[in-house]
Structure 1
Amino acid sequence: MTDAQVIEILTGAIEISTKLAGPLLLVSLVLGVVISVIQTVTQIQEMTLTFVPKLVGVALILIVAGSWMMRELVGWVTTLWQTIPTLG
C-alpha cells in the first residue's frame, strides 16, 4: 500500500463524512441562531428551548435525507471494499 493510496482513502473518508454531517450541522446551526435571536429579543433564557428545536430539525433532516445519506455511505464503503484486494 503506497502513501498515495492511503491519502486517497483518507480523502474519501473525510469527503463522505463532510457530505453526511453537513446537512445536520447546518440545520443545527441555523436553528440555534434563530432560537438565540428569539431568546435575546424576548429575554427568555430556557436551556431546553434551544435543545428541542435542534433535535426536531435534525430528526426531520434524517427522515428526509436519510435514504440519500445511507446510499452515499454504502456506495463509498462498497467501493472501498472492492479496492482492498488491489492495494497489495
Structure 2
Amino acid sequence: MNAQFVLTLGRDALLLLLTIALPVLGTVMAVGLTVSVFQAVTQVHEATLAFVPKLIAAVAVFAIAGPWMLSTLVDFIRRTIESIPRVLG
C-alpha cells in the first residue's frame, strides 16, 4: 500500500460524500431560503414554520434519491473491499 493509493481513495471518498449529500443539502437550503423570505415578508417568526418544511423536503429527497444514494455507496464499498487483496498482495 503506497501513499498514492491512500490519497486516491480518500479523494474518491470525499467526492462520493459530496455527490451524495448535495441533493439533500441543496433542497433543504432552497426550502430554508424560501421559508425565511416568507417569514420576513409576513413577519411570522414561528420556529416550527422553519423546521417542518425542511424536514418534509429532506424526507422527500431521501424517498426519491435514496435508492441511487444507497447503490452508489454500495458500489464504492464493494470496489474498496475488492481492492484489498490487490493492494496487500
Runs of 5+ in structure 1 lacking a partner? none
C-alpha distance in 2 between matches for 1:8 and 1:83: 13
Tell me the alpha carbon deviations over residues 19-70 of structure 1, each in whole angstroms, 9 at most, x when there is no partner.
1110000001000000000000000011111110000000000001100001
TM-score (norm 1): 0.97
What SS does the corresponding residue of 1:44 show, helix, strand or coil?
A: coil
**Alpha-carbon offset, residue 84 of structure 1:** 1.0
Determine the C-alpha separation between the residues in 2 that align with 1:77 and 1:50.
36
Calculate the TM-score normalised by the size of structure 2.
Answer: 0.96
- CA–CA distance in structure 1, aligned partners of residues 28 and 84 of structure 2: 36
What are the ranges of 5 or more consecutive residues in structure 2 without an aligned counterpart? none
Identity %: 33
2:8 matched residue in structure 1: 8
Q: Alpha carbon RMSD of aligned pairs, Å?
A: 0.6
Q: Paired residue for 2:35?
A: 35
Matches of residues 42-61 of structure 1 in structure 2 within 5 Å?
42-61=42-61
